[in-house]
């Protein structure tokens, strides 16, 4: 079925509220997922897995945070990125004005890719942002940077012959104040043995040997965005039913007395 | 068009503590800035034309009708389905599943595939899956009494009794008008960049305006089918007096809370226009024009029949206030007093309804004071965390900007009387009595004041051991406050976005929320049914489609219809 972006975002937010996430977290998570869909990353098929992670809240340990120099490392202990990981990006954003750049590594997070959908918000607040992240599809990772409007301008998909171990799932986000000259993380940087000219740190994962380098231009991504708005977003019936089911946890059963709660209309 | 950012204007006018009082907001009247009026001005100024391209109704008026809107940029179509409806199924509630009429506004052409999709889904409304080229979907029910009378009168060669429209100023009333991506239609972000419909609610207003023409066309058609030899056309003055009703309940209430930056933009622009108008020095001509308008408004309130006794009483008070005001104006000598002085006098002398009515009339008196503002009614609605703000600064912000909310405890029974929730029945918003009705554990977070209080309390407790924490560190440890925290930070940069009321309070009237928004939409003839439903009328008195198409309307006639007077009729019903 096809749904509008607003529909998807609203239903996701309701489902996440129904799972017990706070209002602000639910809103952010729903917008992250919707952003990735709008730009054609086709990640909605992984929403169900993330909802399962969120449902397993009783087994979740609190994230652990390590800060050293200009790097924040957050170990999410296997939890979903949808729960609170974006707040750690905000923590980095709070510190970025006082440093040249800051790198955020989020580890032990099976669905860290959702955080790509949060980054445009940081860009629109004046930061330079780039990110490198494995996608849930086998042997695939993406490298993104953004223009000043928050539109993705460079996305490279690489196939890695070295599949990441699940416990090394990681997203690396580089933040810099906008006045600084900065070179974003790129696949070229990752593939090279030479350090990047601006001292981008190598990602903690093993460097992939690029067997396929499909480059998506800003124009291509923006075209996808416009097409998504024009045609709607494709969502499986199963996912929609699951979102509705979770969302019903926020609704109250009706009876005659509750109908009076809306007042008489006639 | 770029979406303007909601920025505070230099405020030397009315403070937010006055303007954002819920009861005052609920006393507002439409003005030149209202969206129904800006739409019609835009249609004429930009030379839109509307023609009927399909009229497939049977003798009972059931079938499909299409109106085509042509603008300088492109074409749109309003597609209307009229279907039989048993009287016992006719309800204005959101939980309805069938209606007399369902309709939509579509961008571009309607080919056979889209036509089939619309025919299958528009009548289903929320239960259908709508096409992404649909900008608006809506539905409407007949005023059964008016409709039957109009058909009977016209078919017998008589003009309908205008008195019927004084009681209910319409043949149809809408019960929901959806935009912004609902049920698969176009997202607002697509409409935002549309040069014809970039203003908030302009596509919805356009669809409703066309429905008004349909209601006239349909009733004339049915009369002609019943009595082809004796039927007469509806007199043009009577046509103008036909509006479109709207029945609004609690479903509209969350909007006022969930879109604070938009509300700020609307009210800030209105206050800006009011300040400019208030600074004008009244001339004798201004006074004479205002007197004429007051006479019209007085007659309007006098002849408008309102069912709700409380509102009827308020309307009588408005009439009394207008009489007092007219006397003041009669005695005016140039330079004797300013508009500001008169507004001060009204605050002492007159009720809220009259005060805000006068403000709307003052804005209308000086059209130039709204120049450019109609194109600035949209807003950037992003609410972002300022993570680097210190918790100390955050606490100070709450104390400075949210004093209206944070000093109540919300523990007294009357302070936490209601809770807002959504029913499983079509997610209809409802009010429950705390401790009596079930569902409070699923309460909607609409009551901003108690949320600010809870944030403030927890922040103070947090800072005992984390005095130097940043706002984001507090949010990490208290994610339940994230939304309220960043809302407080964001709205601190605006003036008019927060409605200063405890929405839990026993004496809170949701009606005020509804009426505030409806006044900006351009509705009039407020007829509440209790404090949770209201019937209003749109476009009553507005120029006809034929006049818009001709484009030859003088500016006074084009815009001066907020308080429509009934056309004069002889006893036989003829004008």
ipTM: 0.91
3 state SS of B140: strand
Q: Tell me, what DSSP letter sits at residue B426?
A: T
Q: What string of DSSP letters covers A221-240? A: HHHHHHHHHHH-EE--HHHH
Instruction: Give residue B556's pLDDT band: very low, low, confident or very high (50, 70, 90).
Output: confident
pLDDT at residue A240 is higher than 90: yes
Distance CA A68, CA B286 (A): 70
Q: Which residues of chain B are within 8 Å of residue A228 when distances are taken between CB atoms?
A: none
> In this structure, are residues B523 and B30 in contact, taking their beta carbons and an 8 Å threshold?
yes
Distance CA B471, CA A91 (A): 9
What pLDDT is stored for residue B184 in this prediction?
92
What pLDDT is stored for residue A215 in this prediction?
58
The mean pLDDT value for B185-198 works out to 91
Distance CA B568, CA B575 (A): 6
pLDDT at residue A142 is higher than 90: no
- Tens of pLDDT, residue by residue over B471-514, are 999 999 999 999 999 999 999 999 998 999 999 999 999 999 99
Nearest to residue B158, comparing CAs of B61, B230, B236, B242?
A: B230
What pLDDT is stored for residue B57 in this prediction?
98
Q: What percent of chain A has pLDDT over 90?
A: 51
Which pairing describes strands A170-177 and A210-217: parallel, antiparallel, or unpaired? Answer: unpaired
Q: What percent of chain B has pLDDT over 70?
A: 97
Task: Please count the other Cβ atoms lying within 10 Å of the Cβ belonging to residue B471.
Answer: 27
More confident residue, B248 or B155: B155
What pLDDT is stored for residue B9 in this prediction?
43
Distance CA B14, CA B50 (A): 41
Tell me how far CA of residue B519 lies from CA of A205, B381, B465, in angstroms.
59, 21, 48
Task: Compute the Cα dihedral for B485, B487, B490, B494 and give only its sign.
Answer: negative
User: Mean pLDDT in chain B?
Assistant: 93
- Tens of pLDDT, residue by residue over A158-215, are 665 444 444 445 888 899 887 544 444 433 333 333 333 333 333 333 333 333 335 5
What pLDDT is stored for residue A254 in this prediction?
84
Phi and psi, residue B65, nearest 5° = -130, 140
In terms of average pLDDT, the best of A86-100, B178-192, B227-241, B331-345 is: B227-241
**Could you tell me if B275 lies within 8 Å of chain A, comparing CB atoms?**
no
Nearest CA to CA, how far is A149 from chain B (Å)?
Answer: 13
Q: Which residues of chain B are within 8 Å of residue A27 when distances are taken between CB atoms?
A: 483
Distance CA A15, CA A131 (A): 28
What token pair was written down for A80? Answer: 């979903």
3 state SS of B500: strand
Task: Please count the other Cβ atoms lying within 10 Å of the Cβ belonging to residue A156.
Answer: 21
The mean pLDDT value for B86-90 works out to 93
Phi and psi, residue B499, nearest 5° = -80, 120
Distance CA B339, CA A187 (A): 67
> In this structure, are residues B487 and B499 in contact, taking their beta carbons and an 8 Å threshold?
no
- What is the Cα A84 distance to its own chain's centre? 11
More confident residue, A257 or B261: B261
8 Å CB contact of A4 and B184: yes
pLDDT at residue B446 is higher than 80: yes
Q: Residue A143 forms beta bridges with which residues? A: A132, A156
What pLDDT is stored for residue A201 in this prediction?
30
What pLDDT is stored for residue A184 in this prediction?
42
A-chain residue closest to B470, CA distance: A94
Interface of B with A in 342-401 (CB under 8 A): 382, 384-385, 387-388
pLDDT at residue B118 is higher than 60: yes
B-chain residue closest to A247, CA distance: B424
8 Å CB contact of B92 and A97: no
What pLDDT is stored for residue B559 in this prediction?
84
More confident residue, B228 or A99: B228
More confident residue, B172 or B305: B172
What pLDDT is stored for residue A198 in this prediction?
32
Query: What is the signed CA dihedral for B504, B509, B511, B512, rounded to 10 degrees?
Result: -90
B94, B181, B249 ranked by CB distance to A5: nearest: B181
Instruction: Give residue B60's pLDDT band: very low, low, confident or very high (50, 70, 90).
Output: very high
First to last CA, chain B: 45
pLDDT at residue B13 is higher than 90: no
- What is the Cα A157 distance to its own chain's centre? 16
Q: Which residue has the tokens 């450019």?
A: B372
Residue pairs spanning A and B at CB distance below 8 A: 158
pLDDT at residue B227 is higher than 80: yes
> In this structure, are residues B560 and B189 in contact, taking their beta carbons and an 8 Å threshold?
no
Residues 6+ apart with CB under 8 A from B42: B48, B199, B202, B374
What pLDDT is stored for residue A188 in this prediction?
35
What pLDDT is stored for residue A182 in this prediction?
40
pTM value > 0.80: yes
What pLDDT is stored for residue B92 in this prediction?
85
Distance CA B461, CA B467 (A): 10
| Test the A interface: residue of B422, B430, B432, B458 with most A CBs within 10 Å | B430
- Tens of pLDDT, residue by residue over B372-408, are 999 999 999 999 999 999 999 999 999 999 999 999 9
């Amino acid at each position: 079925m096809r749904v509008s972006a607003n529909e998807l975002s609203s239903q996701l937010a309701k489902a996440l509220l129904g799972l017990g996430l706070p209002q602000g977290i639910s809103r952010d998570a729903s917008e992250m997922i919707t952003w990735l869909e709008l730009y054609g990353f086709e990640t909605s098929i992984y929403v169900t897995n993330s909802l399962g992670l969120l449902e397993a809240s009783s087994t979740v340990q609190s994230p652990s945070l390590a800060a050293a120099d200009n790097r924040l490392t957050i170990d999410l202990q296997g939890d979903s990125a949808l729960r609170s990981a974006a707040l750690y990006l905000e923590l980095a954003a709070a510190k970025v004005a006082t440093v040249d750049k800051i790198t955020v590594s989020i580890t032990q997070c099976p669905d860290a890719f959702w955080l790509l959908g949060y980054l445009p918000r940081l860009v629109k607040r004046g930061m330079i942002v780039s990110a490198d992240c494995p996608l849930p599809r086998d042997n695939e990772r993406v490298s993104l940077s953004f223009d000043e409007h928050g539109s993705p301008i460079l996305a490279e998909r690489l196939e890695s012959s070295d599949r990441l171990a699940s416990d090394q799932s990681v997203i690396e986000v580089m933040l810099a104040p906008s006045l600084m000259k900065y070179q974003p993380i790129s696949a070229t940087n990752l593939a090279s043995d030479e350090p990047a000219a601006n001292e981008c740190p190598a990602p903690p994962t093993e460097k992939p040997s690029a067997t396929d380098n499909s480059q998506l231009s800003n124009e291509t991504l923006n075209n996808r965005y416009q097409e998504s708005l024009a045609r709607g977003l494709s969502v499986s019936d199963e996912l929609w039913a699951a979102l509705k089911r979770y969302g019903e946890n926020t609704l109250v059963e009706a009876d005659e007395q509750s109908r009076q709660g809306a007042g008489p209309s006639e | 068009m770029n979406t303007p950012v909601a920025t505070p204007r230099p405020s030397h006018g009315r403070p937010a503590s006055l303007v954002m009082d819920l009861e005052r907001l609920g006393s507002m009247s439409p003005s030149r800035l209202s969206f129904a009026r800006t739409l019609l001005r835009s249609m004429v100024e930009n030379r839109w034309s509307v023609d009927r391209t399909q009229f497939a109704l049977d003798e009972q008026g059931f079938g499909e009708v299409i109106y085509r809107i042509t603008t300088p940029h492109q074409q749109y179509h309003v597609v209307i389905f009229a279907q039989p409806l048993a009287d016992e199924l006719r309800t204005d509630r959101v939980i309805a599943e069938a209606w007399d009429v369902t309709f939509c506004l579509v961008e571009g052409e309607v080919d056979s595939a889209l036509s089939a999709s619309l025919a299958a889904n528009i009548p289903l409304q929320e239960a259908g899956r709508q096409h992404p080229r649909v900008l608006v979907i809506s539905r409407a029910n007949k005023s059964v009494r008016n409709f039957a009378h109009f058909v009977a009168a016209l078919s017998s060669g008589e003009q309908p009794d205008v008195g019927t429209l004084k009681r209910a100023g319409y043949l149809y009333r809408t019960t929901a008008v959806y935009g912004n991506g609902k049920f698969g239609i176009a997202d607002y972000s697509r409409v935002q960049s549309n040069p014809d419909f970039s203003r908030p609610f302009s596509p919805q207003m356009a669809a409703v305006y066309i429905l008004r023409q349909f209601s006239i066309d349909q009733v004339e058609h049915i009369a002609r089918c019943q009595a082809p030899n004796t039927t007469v056309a509806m007199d043009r003055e009577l046509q103008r007096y036909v509006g479109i009703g709207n029945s609004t309940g609690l479903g509209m209430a969350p909007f006022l809370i969930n879109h604070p930056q938009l509300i700020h933009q609307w009210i800030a622009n209105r206050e800006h226009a009011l300040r400019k108008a208030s600074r004008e020095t009244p001339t004798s001509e201004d006074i004479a024009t205002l007197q004429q308008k007051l006479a019209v408004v007085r007659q309007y309130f006098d002849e408008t029949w309102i069912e709700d006794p409380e509102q009827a009483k308020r309307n009588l008070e408005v009439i009394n206030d207008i009489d007092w005001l007219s006397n003041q104006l009669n005695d005016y000598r140039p330079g004797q007093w300013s508009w500001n002085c008169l507004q001060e006098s009204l605050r002492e002398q007159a009720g809220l309804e009259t005060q805000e009515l006068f403000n709307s009339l003052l804005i209308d008196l000086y059209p130039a004071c709204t120049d450019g503002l109609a194109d600035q009614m949209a807003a950037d609605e992003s609410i972002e965390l300022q993570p680097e703000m210190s918790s100390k600064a955050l606490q100070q912000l709450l104390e400075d900007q949210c004093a209206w909310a944070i000093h109540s405890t919300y523990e007294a029974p009357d302070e936490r009387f209601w809770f807002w929730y959504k029913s499983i029945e079509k997610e209809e918003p409802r009010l429950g009595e705390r401790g009596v009705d079930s569902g409070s554990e699923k309460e909607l977070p609409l009551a901003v004041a108690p949320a600010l209080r809870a944030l403030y309390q927890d922040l103070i407790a947090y800072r005992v051991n984390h005095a130097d924490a940043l706002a984001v560190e507090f949010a990490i440890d208290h994610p339940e406050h994230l939304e309220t925290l960043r809302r407080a930070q964001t709205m601190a940069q605006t003036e008019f976005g927060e409605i200063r009321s405890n929405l839990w309070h026993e004496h809170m009237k949701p009606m005020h929320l509804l009426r505030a928004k409806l006044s900006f939409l351009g509705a009039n003839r407020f007829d509440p049914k209790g404090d949770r439903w209201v019937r209003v009328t749109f476009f009553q008195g507005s120029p006809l489609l034929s006049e818009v198409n001709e484009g030859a309307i003088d500016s006074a006639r084009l815009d001066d219809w907020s308080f429509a007077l009934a056309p004069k009729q002889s006893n036989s019903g003829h004008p």
